[in-house]
């Protein structure tokens, strides 16, 4: 069972700082900004470094990297195929105006 959190810490941030915090919380996989701020502040207070990137994010990035490599390969093949399809004649792209 979780302990009841009855104390509140409040501080102000700029719009840019707020967006940075939201992004960092999402990257860390936190449920919400409050959870992220609590973990970072308590970790810092205990002398810990900032949290590592979760393994699930590393796996997602690895999968994205593999898919991007496949896409790059397919695009290169397509460009090569289009380049080897023959040079269009001088009249190509022009309509007969008869």
Output the tens digit of pLDDT for each of the chain's 98 residues.
778 989 999 999 999 999 988 888 888 888 899 988 888 888 777 765 555 555 667 677 777 778 888 889 889 889 988 888 766 555 555 555 54
The pLDDT of residue 98 is 47
| pTM tops 0.75, yes or no | no
For residue 64, which phi and psi values (nearest 5 degrees)? -60, -40
**Alpha-carbon distance 54 to 26, whole Å?**
11
**Interior angle at CA 63, CA 67 and CA 48, nearest 5:** 145
8 A C-beta contact, residue 28 and residue 51: yes
Distance of alpha carbon 33 from alpha carbon 19, whole angstroms:
10
According to the model, what pLDDT value does residue 24 have?
A: 84
């Amino acid at each position: 069972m979780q302990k009841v959190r009855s104390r509140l810490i409040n501080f102000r941030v700029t719009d840019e700082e707020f967006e940075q915090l939201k992004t960092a919380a999402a990257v860390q996989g936190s449920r919400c900004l409050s959870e992220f701020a609590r973990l970072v502040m308590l970790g810092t207070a205990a002398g810990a470094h900032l949290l590592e990137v979760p393994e699930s994010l590393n796996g997602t990035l690895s999968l994205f990297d593999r898919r991007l490599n496949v896409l790059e390969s397919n695009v290169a093949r397509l460009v090569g195929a289009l380049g080897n399809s023959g040079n269009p004649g001088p009249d190509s792209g022009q309509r007969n105006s008869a």
